[in-house]
Structure 1
């Protein structure tokens, strides 16, 4: 597993939305799903707005592999659960980036209830 370069991470983090496609259990590509993500701790970090039952999140945990599409570019990635992440920093980054969309959407991806669904999205 590798890391994003600082330039890649800055480029990825500036986009409001990314599209993730965790692989299916049989290795086939899954569907692209639009999510929000932030650049924190040298990684692209996302949370499931639907909690642990979110489809993309369940597939990401099940297979650990997939792809993302951001700004016309596509990357092979790995999804790594991040229970050790700095959740305060992630919440702050999510609020800074997305508060303009209102408390409902941001509330789904911040706070103690969202923290357990935190995943790092790293280049494969």
Structure 2
């Protein structure tokens, strides 16, 4: 499995927003969606603010692959659903709070807490 370089992790984790596009069945990319991002340890995570029923999330879960762009890094990636009971979730919450609390609880509340855990992807470089 490929891994992020420390420079990529720093740039992606330091970016306010990440753009993500899932792949269609024919391999072409869908349009990019802008989303908030958390780098935790050696991994990069995103969560759907509108849960597992959000159309972009459903498409991304189905394809399991895509492309991201953040902090000057653009890479093909695999999208891995993070199990709800994974111990990383509270750490993701902490990073998201630290980065985004300034936008207010209505926004941050949509991406933190146990209810959001099923809508979490680990983004793995391709």
TM range (shorter): over 0.9
Counterpart of 2:69 in structure 1 is 69
Unaligned stretches of 5+ in structure 1?
none
Q: Report the number of matched residues.
A: 124
- Return the TM-score normalized by structure 2: 0.92
Moved more, 94-103 or 81-90: 81-90
Aligned partner of residue 114 in structure 2, secondary structure: coil
| Distance (Å, rounded) in 1 between the aligned partners of 2:110 and 2:96 | 11
| C-alpha RMSD of the superposition | 1.2
Moved more, 18-27 or 69-78: 69-78
Unaligned stretches of 5+ in structure 2?
none
Counterpart of 1:36 in structure 2 is 36
Regions of 4+ moved over 3 Å: none
- Return the TM-score normalized by structure 1: 0.94
> Is 1:99 paired with 2:101?
yes
Alpha-carbon spacing, 1:91–1:58, altered in 2? closer, same or farther (3 Å): same
| Distance (Å, rounded) in 1 between the aligned partners of 2:6 and 2:55 | 30
| Distance (Å, rounded) in 1 between the aligned partners of 2:13 and 2:73 | 13
* Paired residues of 1:82 and 1:118 also in contact (CA < 8 A): yes
Counterpart of 1:88 in structure 2 is 90
